[in-house]
Structure 1
Amino acid sequence: MSHAGDHGALMDEVYRRQRRIYDVTRKYYLLGRDHLIEQMDVQSGQSVLEVACGTGRNLAAMRQRYPQARLFGLDISEQMLLSARAKLGSEAALARADACKFDPETLLGVDHFDHIVFSYSLSMIPDWQSALSEALRHLAPGGTLHLVDFGDQSALPRWFRRGLLMWLAKFHVTPRPDLPDVMRRHAGADDGLRQDALYRGYATYARLSRRSAA
């Protein structure tokens, strides 16, 4: 089995039962997801791809806020996609794929996207930097990459950080403390990059806007 196949099988096993209670339980600690959605400013007819869309919770919220958007989602777990398909029906095009290498034209009939979203997913993707690079490769000129994930918790008590890391490890989640530096390296001279620490560093939020084509 390939590395991607191994990870997909692991995620299916992790979420085979958890997917049924995922949205209820995660709302207490996946903080900043709605902040990301509120900051997106999706215009009518624009395309939005969520990489590792999980149960479709965020795409459903985007549908409510941006009803004229064209929504797409990818996930490596077929189990999570079962929940996403049930939640979204025909309101979003969904496909199973590896975030580190995918062909959106073949999978979804779209070559590039106006908005691409990572929401608490880079911390679950082993080769997360490749996933980030792959997403940027499919971002349209003038498009925007949006992400939120666990931060460095630098302003929170040490006991809280230790406990959080132990808890996250049970679900194969590894925060990426160097994510802000990696985002800065990806930002070109003409790109717009905004990065914010949320909730005393509990979460990190970033938005990278590519310049429009000449």
Structure 2
Amino acid sequence: MAAEVSPLPGYYRFHARIYDATRWSFLFGRDRLVCLAAEAVARDGLERPARVAEIGCGTGRNILALSRALPGASFTGVDLCRPMVERARRAVSRTACPVQLHCAAYGPDTFVPGSLDLIVFSYALTMFNPGWGAALEAAREHLAPGGRIAVVDFDDTPASWFRAWMGVNHVRLDGHLAPELQSRFRPCRHEARPAYGGLWRYFLFLGRK
């Protein structure tokens, strides 16, 4: 059987050009996630520079913000879409922190087990269909003991038509992620908030291995 090819690289080949100019209007909670995750890692008092990865790093927006909040940390961004990685490369050129970017799928061989202090998923996991469960398992393996996972993403919606529309745009919107995160990681913070008058909810989760 031929391997399934993800539709996401083709989808973002166009959207990479307009991503940062448009996504602010509905990808809520990203700045708060960066702030809370950076504060949590700083409180850990690591004796060496923090090792951070963002899976589905997109245009590099979050890595750039994290590098400002965690000076001295090292960063790795992974994304399937080459145009997004190219934009991320331009964005992170503005930081003095070491950053590596990879155009690749995320999986168990992406990092050495136990090698990361923080893994970030920002509006990525709801688009891993299939694959979100495998991504969470890989993240748990890649985190060092006590390492942190930080997630912000779509949660659910009461509107069936909106759920269907988001499905057309490769987003699963049925509340499946939060319980799975809570079962795999020790919860430190979980917030769920309404967007656009309750048309949908998004959630923020911080946990530890």
TM-score bracket for this pair, using the shorter chain length: 0.7 to 0.9
Could you say what secondary structure the match of 2:58 adopts? coil
CA contact (8 A) 2:118 2:148 kept: yes
CA contact (8 A) 2:150 2:207 kept: yes
> 1-side partners of 2:114 and 2:160: how far apart?
42
Number of residue pairs aligned between Structure 1 and Structure 2? 193
> 2-side partners of 1:142 and 1:171: how far apart?
35
Once the two structures are superposed, the pairs formed by residues 196-211 of structure 1 within 5 Å of their partners are 196-199=191-194, 202-210=201-209
**Does the alignment pair 1:115 with 2:118?**
yes
Q: 1:11 to 1:192 in 2, by over 3 A?
A: closer
Q: What is the CA deviation profile of residues 5-31 of structure 1, one whole-angstrom value per residue up to 9, with x for unaligned ones? A: x11xx2221111210110110111000
Could you say what secondary structure the match of 1:185 adopts? helix
Single out whichever of 11-20 and 142-151 deviates more from structure 2. 11-20
The CA RMSD over aligned residues, in Å, is 2.2
Once the two structures are superposed, the pairs formed by residues 122-133 of structure 1 within 5 Å of their partners are 122-126=125-129, 127-133=131-137
> 1-side partners of 2:189 and 2:154: how far apart?
16
CA displacement at 1:167 relative to structure 2: 4.0
Q: 1:147 to 1:176 in 2, by over 3 A?
A: farther
Q: Which residue of 2 aligns with 1:95?
A: 102
Higher strand share: 2
CA contact (8 A) 1:32 1:198 kept: no
* Percentage identity across paired residues of the two chains: 31
- Among residues 82, 85, 92, which one is paired with 2:86 in the alignment? 82
Q: 1:171 to 1:22 in 2, by over 3 A?
A: same
- TM-score, normalisation: structure 1: 0.81
Q: What is the CA deviation profile of residues 131-153 of structure 1, one whole-angstrom value per residue up to 9, with x for unaligned ones? A: 11111110011110110111124
Once the two structures are superposed, the pairs formed by residues 5-20 of structure 1 within 5 Å of their partners are 6-7=5-6, 10-20=7-17
Q: Which residue of 2 aligns with 1:29?
A: 26
Could you say what secondary structure the match of 1:27 adopts? helix
**Matched AA of 1:23:** D
- TM-score, normalisation: structure 2: 0.82
**Matched AA of 1:70:** S
CA contact (8 A) 2:13 2:81 kept: no
Q: What is the CA deviation profile of residues 38-75 of structure 1, one whole-angstrom value per residue up to 9, with x for unaligned ones? A: 11123372111001111111111112222222111111
Q: Which residue of 2 aligns with 1:194?
A: 189
> 2-side partners of 1:101 and 1:78: how far apart?
21
